[in-house]
Amino acid sequence: MLNVYLLRHGETTYNADGLRYCGITDAPLTEKGKQQAATVAEPLKNIAFDAIYSSPLSRAYDTAVIAAGGRPVIKDQRLMEANFGQWEGKRQEEFVLENEALWTTWMKDPCVARAGATGETGMEVVTRVNDFFEWARQEHKDGTILVVGHNAVNRFYLAYKMGIPLKNYRRILQLNSSITMFTLDETSEIVLKLLNATSL
């Protein structure tokens, strides 16, 4: 059984500026975001991780480096945030005014709709993230890993694994630098044990 400690990165400049959509844009951590990562490092310091993985985007990687407390961090492209296409760098109220139908189509069925017209579909995100965790399940049998990713990819993956329709992915709340923990057994069945924890 694989034990997974899953984090969302700390606060970014885009998060702080009216919740602008970062997506694949490489927005950096704020000072608050760095402190959030340092805070979560404390409950994680005594866990013997077999490996620590991160999205290659700096906000996730920098969070992982801080939270890892000196342990090595491996970047994996499959953990990259969703590509939000034309919505990148904009607040929701801005891009909805530009093209409300695009947002309505996305919310109705993100499985097949492209985020921001030119971004990824929900299933494209799920496919690559699930590929990472299936690989990790084989690579670290009966192991424990730390994974630092992003809001959309984490929520899409959790929704998919728990049988929640992807159109409801936004009903899962992922706080900056909080601890979500789940297990994947030999059949890849998930058991969610912690969500948004600040201590262990």
Catalytic residue among 9, 11, 120, 150: 9
How far is Cα 69 from Cα 48, in angstroms, rounded to an integer?
12
What totals of helices (H) and strands (E) does the chain contain, helices first? 7, 6
Q: In this predicted structure, what is the pLDDT of residue 62?
A: 98
- Between the alpha carbon of residue 151 and those of residues 49, 99, 189, the distances in Å are 22, 23, 22
Residue that is written with structure tokens 């919505």 in the block: 87
Catalytic residue among 81, 88, 120, 150: 81
Which residues have C-beta within 8 Å of that of residue 164, sequence separation ≥ 6?
158, 171, 172
Among the residues of 112-150, which ranges form H helices? 122-139
pLDDT in tens, the chain (200 residues): 999 999 999 999 999 988 899 999 999 999 999 999 999 999 999 999 999 999 999 999 999 999 999 999 999 999 999 999 999 999 999 999 999 999 999 999 999 999 999 999 999 999 999 999 999 999 999 999 999 999 999 999 999 999 999 999 999 999 999 999 999 999 999 999 999 998 88
Strands 190-197 and 179-184 come out as antiparallel
**Which domains does the chain possess?**
2-82+121-197 (3.40.50.1240)
Q: For this structure, is 81 an active site residue?
A: yes
